[in-house]
Structure formats: structure tokens, C-alpha cells
């Protein structure tokens, strides 16, 4: 896959709004018990985006591709856990965690994680870090 194809593959991530914004999640997590959860989600989302990028760079049918796919699946599972834990703890705290119901499939949660990763990276670029 060349750069143009990769851009087209990720373009929907940039153009579609996530089910809940990162800013709203951070606002909801305003207590000591919740504060770490968006940080965990951001970290997992970045890791997931990295593994997706690595997977996309490998050649189909190779051992590298199989290893990249296994890694991507493991990180995806951990990312889904971070999403579900965040929503569950928001609900327990009497805050809105129902947004997770709009992410019923693995692919929906994966797209959400990529959107979060994109937002985190955009913030870093806007601050001049990583530019």
C-alpha cells in the first residue's frame, strides 16, 4: 500500500466525529478515581494506531504480516478493554457512559480508538511537540 492509499484508508477517521469527544471524556473524568482512565484510553489508542500502521506496511502472505496481525489483535483487545472500562466506570460514577453502546462491534471500537489517537496526535502537533 503506498502513501496515497494509506491516506484514503484513514480519511474517514479524520472526517467522522467520534461518538464522544476526547474533551468530553476528559471533562467527565474529573475525580481522582476517573482521572487516569482517559489517559489509559489515549495511550492504548496510540499503541493501536501504531500497530495498524505497522500491519498496513507489511506484505500480504508473509510471516511479518502474520506477526503484525497478531500484535494488532492483542493491542486491539487491550484497547477495547480500555474503552469498556472507561464507560463502565463513568456509569458507576453516575456519569454518561452509554456512548459505548454506539460501538457494538470490534471494528467500531477500533475506529473510535483511531479517532482518539488522531486527536491526541493533532494536539501534540498543535503544541509543537512531535512536529
Instruction: Report d(CA 52, CA 114) in Å as an integer.
Output: 9
- The per-residue pLDDT for range 7-61, each reduced to its tens digit, is 444 545 555 789 999 999 999 999 999 999 999 999 999 999 999 999 999 998 8
The pTM for the full model equals 0.83
Q: Cβ(116)–Cβ(42) under 8 Å?
A: yes
How far is the CA of 26 from the CAs of 41, 61, 62, 66, 106, in angstroms?
Answer: 11, 41, 41, 36, 23
The pLDDT of residue 4: 44
Residue 6 has pLDDT above 80, yes or no: no
Q: Which of the two residues, 123 and 14, has the higher pLDDT score?
A: 123
Instruction: Report d(CA 54, CA 57) in Å as an integer.
Output: 5
- The per-residue pLDDT for range 81-96, each reduced to its tens digit, is 999 999 999 999 999 9
The pLDDT of residue 127: 87
The pLDDT of residue 55: 92
The pLDDT of residue 16: 74
Residue 2 has pLDDT above 60, yes or no: no
Quote the Cα angle for 100-101-103, to 5°: 70
Amino acid at each position: 500500500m503506498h502513501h496515497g492509499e494509506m491516506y484514503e484508508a484513514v480519511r474517514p477517521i479524520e472526517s467522522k466525529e467520534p461518538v464522544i469527544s476526547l474533551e468530553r471524556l476528559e471533562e467527565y473524568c474529573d475525580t481522582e478515581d476517573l482521572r487516569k482512565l482517559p489517559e489509559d484510553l489515549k495511550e492504548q489508542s496510540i499503541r493501536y494506531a501504531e500497530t495498524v500502521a505497522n500491519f498496513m506496511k507489511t506484505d500480504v502472505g508473509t510471516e511479518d504480516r502474520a506477526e503484525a496481525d497478531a500484535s494488532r489483535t492483542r493491542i486491539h483487545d487491550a484497547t477495547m478493554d480500555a474503552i469498556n472500562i472507561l464507560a463502565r466506570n463513568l456509569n458507576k460514577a453516575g456519569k454518561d457512559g452509554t456512548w459505548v453502546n454506539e460501538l457494538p462491534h470490534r471494528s467500531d471500537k477500533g475506529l473510535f480508538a483511531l479517532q482518539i489517537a488522531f486527536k491526541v496526535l493533532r494536539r501534540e502537533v498543535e503544541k509543537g511537540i512531535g512536529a
